[in-house]
Structure 1
Amino acid sequence: MSVKIYYEEFVLGDSRSTTGRTITDADIVLHAGQSGDFYPHHMDEEWCKTQPFKRRIAHGTLIFSIGVGLSAGLINEVAMTYGYEKLRFIRPVFINDTIKAKVVIKDKRDHKKPGYGIVSEALEVFNQNDELVMVCEHLLLVEKKEVNG
Structure 2
Amino acid sequence: MTINAEPRGRYFEDFEIGQEVVTPARTITSTDIVNFACLTGDFNEVHTNFEYCKTTPFGEPIAHGPLVYGIMGGLQYASGINDGTLLGLLGIDEWRMLGPVKHGDTIRVAQRVVEKKETSKPDRGVITFLRQCVKQDGSVVQEMKATLMYKRRPAA
TM-score under structure 2 length normalisation = 0.83
Tell me the residue number matched to 1:2: 7
Return the alpha-carbon distance in structure 2 between the equivalents of residues 138 and 37 of structure 1: 25
1:32 alignment partner in structure 2: 37
Q: Work out the CA distance in 1 between the residues paired with 2:50 and 2:63.
A: 12
Gaps of 5+ in 1: none
| Contact preservation (8 Å) 1:58, 1:92 | yes
Stretches of structure 2 that go unaligned for 5 or more consecutive residues are: 1-5
Equivalent residue number for residue 57 of structure 2: 52
Aligned-pair identity (%): 29
- Residue in 1 that maps onto 2:128: 120
CA contact (8 A) 2:87 2:151 kept: no
Q: Distance in 1 between matches of 2:9 and 2:67?
A: 29
The alignment partner of 1:3 has SS state of: coil
Q: Secondary structure at the match of 1:129?
A: coil
1:131 equivalent to 2:136? Answer: no
Inter-partner Cα distance in structure 2 for 1:66 and 1:82: 15
Report how many residues are paired. 146
- 8 Å Cα contact 2:7/2:85 also seen in 1: no
- AA at the equivalent of 1:10: F
CA–CA distance in 1 between the matches of 2:48 and 2:144? 26
1:79 aligned partner? 86
**Aligned counterparts of 2:151 and 2:24: Cα–Cα separation in 1:** 28
**Displacement of 1:145:** 4.9
Give, in angstroms, the shift of residue 76 of structure 1: 4.1
Note if contact 1:108-1:117 (Cα within 8 Å) is conserved in structure 2. yes
Q: Partner residue of 1:102? A: 110
